[in-house]
Amino acid sequence: MLLAAALAPALVLASPSAAPGIHAEHAALRPAPLHRRGRALDPTPATFSKWVYGYYAYWAGSVADLPWDRLTHVALFDVEMTATGALKNQHLVTDVIDEALALAEPYGVKIHITVICFDKATMGAVLPDPAKRALAIGELKAMVEATGAHGVSVDFEGMAQENILDLVAFVEELKAAVPEVTVATPPIDWNQAYHYPKLAAAADALFIMGYNFHWSGGDPGPNAPLHGGAPWSKYSLEWSMNDYLGTGIGADKIIMGLPLYGMRWPSVDNSVPGEATGKGKSLVYADAVVEAATYGRHWDEVTHTPYYFADALSQTWYDDAESIEDKITWSLDQGALGIGFWALNYDGNDPDLWDMVAEHTQIPGGDTDSGGTDSGGTDSGTGSGGTDSAGSAGSFGGASGGGTDSSATGGASGSGGDGSGGASAGATSGAGEDPGLDEGGCGCRSTPASGSALGLLLLVGASARRRRRALA
């Protein structure tokens, strides 16, 4: 069991297992940028070396605002699976998909339909039942065929451990029905409910929701820490990647999802790590960047995360082009299939951000052959989890304790919302226990290039635009 509540009660405000994940939280709160910047699309379609996968949140702006020239995939959020297996709210996708497909076509961008379920009881009713699974999959297949979409993103959060193989069956059957399938998966599998190797074998890619490590109900801290270590916990993007790879999955099945939002917490003071005095509130990328320029940007060297203080009684932690570039560079260095974002349009169409993304994911001067790489990747096998190492629950989902196990003194991380944060999620089962932790919180258009020449070109481009960090 997790010991955070016992060992660091001042840092634990509530159990994330009782709260929605960040996708569900944003769907309810609907954050949208107050500040927007314009950028013209590159008229020449690019050749990509990596996937760039983005979720389109309908509340944040128009599909016409998306950086189509910088993306390989757009997942339209969302249709919802009900307890009978039938879908609802299809209009959230059908209202925009024709326009999205028309805008995507010149750039060869693939459009996915995102199917969500954030209710544990609903997943418990549908996933074990072959007839209900067939109904859901049949309706998704019909949507894909009727609209001309290219695939489906499965975003089921807060699932019980008992449904671990039922989700695998759902993904296998869905993949047999539609051209392409991705699965959104947690950075920390608190419920041990996701069989990473079997899901990777069944799907084209796993989208690690690499954010919400410090959740709205916990204490202030980095949303998507690149590395762990004092004064934070060991949990980080590095830990998550190692956890997944430790189960035998190839990195070429992993999309590292990164946040285009931050979080502001009311706090006791400006001490870092800090202590929250209430619930945090999401702030989108575009607005956080503007505020940081006003109030003064600070930098956390351990986690590669910027933050600022809007006043003496709050802390805002967010990501900007520099921190995202560090996380993109690191993820791709690990061999990831690509990178992704929650959620598109939160950035206000920032040209600096998307030009940087292009430097790391597009082939300079490459041809625009649309033949593409087989997005199926490598068969990752169906093993039952990796080595049961320190900090590991040793179960299907992994939590193999990858990365550096640094003691957490002070601000606990809390990858709550997206790991087990479904609206009706039950108690956490404690993957990778760590004292002092909040408990929870390519079908691309060309073959990826290889060799040192491309690496050098990308490195030079990235180095040329590296900005000086503003240290505290």
Q: What is the CATH number of the domain that holds 144?
A: 3.20.20.80
- The verdict on whether omega for the bond into residue 225 sits within 30 degrees of 0, i.e. cis, is no
Whether the per-residue pLDDT at 393 is higher than 70: the answer is no
Q: Is residue 438 part of a domain?
A: yes
Whether the per-residue pLDDT at 326 is higher than 60: the answer is yes
Q: How confident is the model at residue 461 (pLDDT cuts 50, 70, 90)?
A: very low
> Is residue 38 packed enough to be buried (19+ CB in 10 Å), middle (13-18) or exposed (0-12)?
exposed
pLDDT tens figures, 103-155: 999 999 999 999 999 999 999 999 999 999 999 999 999 999 999 999 999 99
Q: What is the mean pLDDT of the chain?
A: 80
Q: Is residue 326 part of a domain?
A: yes
Number of domains in the chain: 1
Whether the per-residue pLDDT at 231 is higher than 80: the answer is yes
Q: Is residue 365 part of a domain?
A: yes
Whether the per-residue pLDDT at 380 is higher than 70: the answer is no
Q: What percent of the chain has pLDDT over 70?
A: 73
Nearest-angstrom CA–CA distance, 16 and 10: 15
Nearest-angstrom CA–CA distance, 39 and 422: 36
Q: In this predicted structure, what is the pLDDT of residue 36?
A: 86
Q: Is residue 252 part of a domain?
A: yes
Could you give the C-alpha distances from 349 to 62, 64, 174, 293, 354, in angstroms and in order? 11, 11, 33, 18, 8
Q: Is residue 262 part of a domain?
A: yes
Whether the per-residue pLDDT at 468 is higher than 50: the answer is no
Q: What's the length of the chain?
A: 472
Nearest-angstrom CA–CA distance, 455 and 309: 38
Q: How confident is the model at residue 431 (pLDDT cuts 50, 70, 90)?
A: very low
Q: In this predicted structure, what is the pLDDT of residue 20?
A: 62
Q: In this predicted structure, what is the pLDDT of residue 37?
A: 87
Whether the per-residue pLDDT at 456 is higher than 80: the answer is no
Nearest-angstrom CA–CA distance, 16 and 49: 37
Q: In this predicted structure, what is the pLDDT of residue 134?
A: 98
SS3 content of the chain, % helix, strand, coil (to 5): 35, 15, 50
Q: In this predicted structure, what is the pLDDT of residue 67?
A: 97
Nearest-angstrom CA–CA distance, 258 and 237: 9
Q: In this predicted structure, what is the pLDDT of residue 472?
A: 40
Q: How confident is the model at residue 319 (pLDDT cuts 50, 70, 90)?
A: very high
Average pLDDT on 68-88 reads 98
* Residue 351, number of CB atoms within 10 A of its CB: 15
Token pair, residue 339, equals 């990178």
Q: Is residue 68 part of a domain?
A: yes
Q: In this predicted structure, what is the pLDDT of residue 442?
A: 35
Token pair, residue 370, equals 């649309």
Residues in CB range of 26: below 8 A, 6 or more apart: 57, 59, 261, 282, 342, 343
Cα 199–chain centre separation: 16
Nearest-angstrom CA–CA distance, 345 and 328: 18
Q: What percent of the chain has pLDDT over 90?
A: 70
Domain ranges, residue 120 = 4-464
Whether the per-residue pLDDT at 92 is higher than 50: the answer is yes
Among the ranges given (58-72, 265-279, 392-406), the one the predictor scored with the smallest mean pLDDT = 392-406
Q: In this predicted structure, what is the pLDDT of residue 285?
A: 97
Cα atoms found within 13 Å of the Cα of residue 72, Cβ hemisphere only = 29
Whether the per-residue pLDDT at 437 is higher than 90: the answer is no
Among the ranges given (243-252, 362-371, 401-410), the one the predictor scored with the smallest mean pLDDT = 401-410
Pairwise pLDDT comparison (364 vs 387), residue with the higher score: 364
Could you give the C-alpha distances from 291 to 83, 309, 386, in angstroms and in order? 42, 9, 43
Nearest-angstrom CA–CA distance, 273 and 437: 13
Whether the CB-CB separation of 203 and 181 falls below 8 Å is answered with yes
Among the ranges given (218-232, 297-311, 417-431), the one the predictor scored with the smallest mean pLDDT = 417-431
Q: In this predicted structure, what is the pLDDT of residue 366?
A: 59
Cα 32–chain centre separation: 18
Q: Is residue 94 part of a domain?
A: yes
Token pair, residue 438, equals 């909040």
Q: In this predicted structure, what is the pLDDT of residue 74?
A: 98
Helix or strand holding residue 22 (H, E): helix 22-29
Among the ranges given (101-110, 141-150, 315-324, 380-389), the one the predictor scored with the smallest mean pLDDT = 380-389
Whether the per-residue pLDDT at 78 is higher than 60: the answer is yes
Nearest-angstrom CA–CA distance, 443 and 5: 44
Q: Do the bridges between strand 51-57 and strand 73-81 make them parallel or antiparallel, or are there none, so unpaired?
A: parallel
Q: Is residue 470 part of a domain?
A: no
* CA dihedral sign, ordered 412, 417, 423, 425: negative
Whether the per-residue pLDDT at 158 is higher than 50: the answer is yes
Nearest-angstrom CA–CA distance, 385 and 111: 31
Q: In this predicted structure, what is the pLDDT of residue 383?
A: 36
pLDDT tens figures, 26-70: 999 999 998 888 888 998 999 999 999 999 999 999 999 999 999
* Residue 95, number of CB atoms within 10 A of its CB: 12
Whether the per-residue pLDDT at 101 is higher than 90: the answer is yes
* Residue 51, number of CB atoms within 10 A of its CB: 27
